[in-house]
Structure 1
């Protein structure tokens, strides 16, 4: 699939969990992969981690939620060659969250994880600066994309406020974030007045730091028709094409082969780009989760 994405010149997103070896308790990036030739982003695998934590209890890594430590994730993400990497976050989809208290805890935990990552990154940059130029330090240890979480409009406002409080403590070492991730937007309604995607984005757009744009994790393809000309929305990713490939193969009684999956990837991307082009000739970036 990485080879196909490379050949089609698709930007992609991958999950850190795909590179984690449970047996070795370490990240392992392939020595040779077409992924390295693509423009790819690294997701922290927050949803997978929360599912594992809910199903199997306390994990050995950061916060007792992730199987890896802060240092392991930061080292892997910054060395992977990813165009950008997201901070560890705690998702709040209804299927894994039971109450308002739990949602609030996870929003605060997401801000705490950002603080932890920035503390370590600051120390590592200072140590590297003793022997390397400012440019080398910036290239080897770039800061993460911060992530905000929630289910309702008010949750996201609270999460954005906490994120900015954390980020501001590290300025002027850090410039305002160029990109902010918006989590838990997959499988949600688009037009609901309190937790619909459009309502959330409408509220957020006036509160973003100057120059910041949004990445939408798992946004529905149909939303792109409305968001294609919103310049403060930089990019989105989706695994809908691969889920659809499994369903179509099952219903048709055929193998969900790599050829079939790649064909669905092309179909989804073609439809997504058409939706964007219907709103604006100059397309914003699109990320396809592979």
Structure 2
């Protein structure tokens, strides 16, 4: 099956951009952030619900998918301004082809060290479980797309293992933290996809969020595994063109860039597959030898387990507890 090109839309306002998406009959993706309402009534900008009326404008599109806006929420707001329940309610407001589970991205500007990466994996696992439980209540579990996160290939495997029971043939699985990832290297895009291809059940396809167009020829050998990609990179191109020409960034200009981007991706997918033969070294074991550092590591692991099990909320601030938690572990080790 060919890799499906899904075009990210910044909004669902009637205009040249949406009309072009309809005419191209291209599957579209809208972000929860693009459907958000904001208020400044209390003197600051705060989230005020969804603009669900805009979903009526999606009629006529080939299909529409929904993204939780995990990266934007982390980078712009420091976290989701809406609850998981709010998000699943939005997912129930329209017959989306699929809607992505909420997730916690791990790009370097968001997760600045290894411990924070692993913390966000646990939060992603818990958010997936919370989304599935609420989706079952709304009767939309069949269109929920699990999302896995990671910095290294084995990080994604941790998410797969935790969500294994919910994976089934024919369903897509979203792969996050892709858009800023290099193609090459032990943590590169191909290393991640190759690893997932080896561990996932047959028939489980991958949706790659925000993959760069230059990576597409390298994905062709994984055509049976990679189901779809999405991007809104054409918007950046349109902004640069408008700035260079000294003209407004109109919806028509953006629509032209969108169509050009789609044509370019189709050409890349019709080209010659590229491969990166390489031997990837296994990740090094960074288990600390110092007893206090071991206690800190154990405390973090136990707190993550509680988040994944639902005993602690995935958005709960746990950093102040770690040293106190570790102190108890440290004392127990000395007593033993």
TM-score range, shorter chain: 0.7 to 0.9
Alignment counterpart, residue 277 of structure 1, candidates 263, 270, 274? 270
1:71-110 equivalences under 5 Å are 71-110=85-124
1:106-117 equivalences under 5 Å are 106-117=120-131
Closer, same or farther: CA 74–152 of 1 in aligned 2, 3 Å? same
After superposing the two structures, state which structure 1 stretch, 248-257 or 145-154, moved more.
248-257
Counterparts of 1:228 and 1:9, CA distance in 2: 23
Partner of 2:187: 195
Count of residues paired in the alignment: 248
Alignment counterpart, residue 65 of structure 2, candidates 37, 41, 45? 41
Q: CA deviation at 1:115?
A: 1.1
Counterparts of 2:152 and 2:209, CA distance in 1: 16
SS in 1 for 2:92: helix
SS in 2 for 1:235: strand
1:156-235 equivalences under 5 Å are 156-164=156-164, 168=165, 175=168, 178-192=171-185, 194-228=186-220, 230-235=223-228
SS in 1 for 2:228: strand
Counterparts of 1:234 and 1:155, CA distance in 2: 21
Q: CA deviation at 1:69?
A: 2.1
Q: Does the aligned pair in 1 maintain the 2:71–2:104 contact within 8 Å?
A: yes
Counterparts of 1:271 and 1:34, CA distance in 2: 27
Alignment counterpart, residue 238 of structure 1, candidates 228, 231, 238? 231
Q: CA deviation at 1:226?
A: 2.2
Q: Does the aligned pair in 1 maintain the 2:35–2:54 contact within 8 Å?
A: no
Q: Does the aligned pair in 2 maintain the 1:6–1:34 contact within 8 Å?
A: no
Q: Does the aligned pair in 2 maintain the 1:217–1:237 contact within 8 Å?
A: yes
Counterparts of 2:243 and 2:56, CA distance in 1: 29
Counterparts of 1:143 and 1:238, CA distance in 2: 21
Alignment counterpart, residue 253 of structure 1, candidates 246, 256, 269? 246
Gaps of 5+ in 1: 55-64, 126-136, 281-290
Structure 1 residue ranges, 4+ long, deviating more than 3 angstroms after superposition? 31-34, 140-143, 174-177
Partner of 2:317: none
* 1:128-182 deviation per Cα after TM superposition (whole angstroms, max 9, x unaligned): xxxxxxxxx5xx5534100111122222222222222xxx1x6xxx845611000
SS in 1 for 2:22: helix
Counterparts of 1:4 and 1:10, CA distance in 2: 9
RMSD: 2.0
Q: Does the aligned pair in 2 maintain the 1:146–1:177 contact within 8 Å?
A: no
Counterparts of 2:217 and 2:141, CA distance in 1: 36
Provide TM-score, normalisation by structure 1: 0.79
Gaps of 5+ in 2: 1-16, 40-46, 274-336
Counterparts of 1:6 and 1:228, CA distance in 2: 27
Q: Does the aligned pair in 2 maintain the 1:78–1:142 contact within 8 Å?
A: no
